[in-house]
A and B are shown apart, each in its own frame.
Chain A
């Protein structure tokens, strides 16, 4: 007989099991009431190594994640934006966000994220904005990301991403902002970039290994406003299709391998404001059509190999504020049309082969602050109207062929801080009014043909810091008004025709560190009152008389002292020991007498050179000279010194020694250095002989006639 069919659910075992199961599932749902989107977020949160409190609100017991920090939802309760900018996440990017099928905006910048961009990002198809900038992301940009047809913003800048820009980047048909700068990307810029018809910002600079040419197709990105490829290895020339970019405002392709000529088509970029093409290998001329760029403000083409003349047409760019064409091979004259550039602030044309004159019209550019035309072949005079440039702070015209006088009107440039007219053929005197410029800190007119005097008005120039008038024909005396120059740090008046003494009032120059007056006709003695700040003093080749003042020892910062070729007399004061930092001392070609003071041997820093030659020093070399272990060059020739030169035997660092024309005696020290000394450095020392083993007679050292 068959067993009766029973309802399994009425079976007691099964019944209680099902009951248990249903009770369990009830519990299950109430423990994890958060939806799938929240779960995905939590799973990602758990993968992070973060210790931040910011994600404390990410609570699995919430019913929805929409109130969580950094999470924003739409009216349907679907997550549309995640913004954790600046939160210290310390983990990887999420590859499990597929459930967030409404996610439009993912902002995870400056979040201390590492690892690569997961291929899974290609699944987040609703994304319009991805910002992963300023993290430590590595690896390549996955091709999969190019599936995101709705993506408008892709910011991956400031990471460590490598590999090439995906070749299908053109598939991101909605892309408006693409920033990849400051990574370690390589490879070429894909031609498909031309398909990004809506692209406005493209910045991929700061990727040293991005190479190849800028594809011609870039011309198709007709909405482009900013193009940035600086500090890459982009090569070849700028394509003429650049002219198709009617909205472009900034082209920044500097410090690359860009070569060839700038296409004339650039004249079509009617919105162009900033053209930065410096530090490249661009050749050819500056295109004439640049004159059509009515909105151009900043033209930086410096350090290239551009040739030809500066086009007159540039004078039509009336909005321009900065022109830097330095370090090229430009020829011809500075265009007179520059006089129309009323907003021009900086004109830098240094280091070219420009000729002709500085056009008078330039004095119309009343907004000019920086005028640099140095290192060219500019001739003619400085225009008298230069005084119109009231805003001028810096005027460099050095190393040219300029002639004429320095115009008095320069004194009207009341904001002038630095003036360098060195290495020209300027003549006449320095107009005294120039020293009325209260903001002038640097005045450099070395190596010209200036004559006349240094006016007492120099004292009015109270901010003067650096003054170089060396290599001219300036006469007269150094005005005592110099004491008013409290800021003066550096003064070089060498190689002129100055007479009179060094004014004792120089003590007023409390910050003077460098004093060079060599090769003049300066008389009188070395003042007692030299400023204690001095590190370098050169008054050689003058007509100084009298003794070397004892107060020389108060110059405790002095490292180099050159008083050679004067008529100083007396002895070297023992106080010289106070110059404890002295590295170089040259007192040669004077009338010094007496014994060499032992104190010279006690100056530990005396290492560069000690020259006492051509004086009347007598007596022996002080035994302390054996302590001058760092001394490299010693010249005590042409004196009346006697005794032995043994004391010099162990000077380890000596590479040049001249003791000739003295009365030294005794055996030559038997060291390799002395054995190799040229005889001319020992000559005319009657008693000096080369000891045994050498067949040369002692006569050898007497063969030369005495001084």
Chain B
């Protein structure tokens, strides 16, 4: 059964305090504000976070899209209060999913938009399987993601532009798939990106040279239909790709 977070009734409390504050001098105003925020964060940390089952629901939806002949996902019981005791899932101390380790698991099928709901996910390891279809653009919502390893699958379609939102991303390996289209220019804004591999795909257009892309070796781009590095000063965008 899905769970809803237990939000404490704060509105009347706020209103009363707002009234009190408005009549008080500036110094005391800031003190009250400070105490209020401390109290608030205390209150919110005490009330049990029941929202972790929305993450279980997201993973359960993922499971229904995947084909799992070796039963790697057998422990994924949606009746449990959260997915933290499921195998191949790691949670943090607040029962939020931080890792999904399904590399080399003989899995096929496709991914879906639900994966984007795992807001605390740091590691998405789906490498060396047989997963096909498009990479969901919703993966761009994983703002805490540190590592995305989807190499060695059958992913097709484009690299989503939304990946530019993955501000914490350090490792992005999409090599050995059937991805097409160009490398989104927006990825040059990913300041933390250290390893980027899109070799062995069907990408076209030019290779970005800005930001972290200045340091990626050519091996990261081989076996595509890429035209070579973006020529600075000439056309700054891809066309005819």
A contacts, CB < 8 Å to B: 303, 326-327, 348, 350-351, 372, 375, 398-399, 490, 492, 513-514, 535-536, 559, 583, 605, 607-608, 632, 652-653, 655, 672
Contact = CB atoms under 8 A, between A and B. Distances in A.
A655 B146 contact: yes
Given A351-B3, A490-B85, A536-B87, A399 B48 contact: yes
B195 interface: yes
A351 B87 contact: no
B87 A608 contact: no
B75 A608 contact: no
Contacts of A672: 194
9 contacts: A327-B1, A327-B4, A490-B85, A535-B87, A559-B101, A607-B103, A653-B171, A653-B195, A655-B146
Contacts of A351: 1, 3-4, 50
Contacts of A350: 1
B147 A632 contact: yes
Contacts of B3: 327, 351, 375
Contacts of A559: 87-88, 101
A605 B103 CA distance: 9
B155 interface: no
B170 interface: yes
B87 A653 contact: no
B167 interface: no
Interface string B120-153: 0001010000000000000000000011000000
Given A632-B147, A655-B146, A608 B2 contact: no
Given A608-B90, A632-B123, A326 B195 contact: no
Contacts of B4: 303, 327, 351
A190 to B, nearest CB: 35
Q: For chain A, what secondary structure do more than half of its interface residues adopt (helix, strand, loop), or is it mixed?
A: loop
A513 B48 contact: no
Contacts of B178: none
Contacts of A492: 85
A490 B1 CA distance: 21
Interface in B182-226: 194-195
B85 A327 contact: no
Contacts of A608: 90, 99, 101, 123
Contacts of B1: 326-327, 348, 350-351, 372
A652 B87 contact: no
Contacts of B81: 398
A327 B171 CA distance: 40
Interface string B1-33: 111100000000000000000000000000000
Contact of A514 (B85, B103, B147): B85
A375 B50 CA distance: 9
Contacts of B194: 652, 672
B71 to A, nearest CB: 11
A580 to B, nearest CB: 10
A327 B146 contact: no
A513 B72 CA distance: 12
B195 A652 contact: yes
A372 B195 CA distance: 49
A274 B88 CA distance: 42
A583 B147 contact: no
B170 A513 contact: no
Contacts of A348: 1
B192 to A, nearest CB: 10
Interface in B92-135: 99, 101, 103-104, 123, 125
Contacts of B125: 607
A513 B87 contact: yes
A583 B87 contact: no
Contacts of B85: 490, 492, 514
A336 B68 CA distance: 48
The 4 A-B pairs at the shortest CB distance, nearest first, are namely: A535-B87, A652-B195, A327-B4, A351-B3
A99 to B, nearest CB: 52
Interface in B70-93: 75, 81, 85, 87-88, 90
A399 B171 CA distance: 40
Nearest to B146: A655
Which of B75, B104, B146 has most chain A Cβ within 10 Å?
A: B75
Contact of B101 (A326, A399, A514, A583): A583
A607 B171 contact: no
For B75, B81, B147, the residue with the greatest tally of chain A CB atoms inside 10 Å of its CB is B81
A559 B88 CA distance: 9
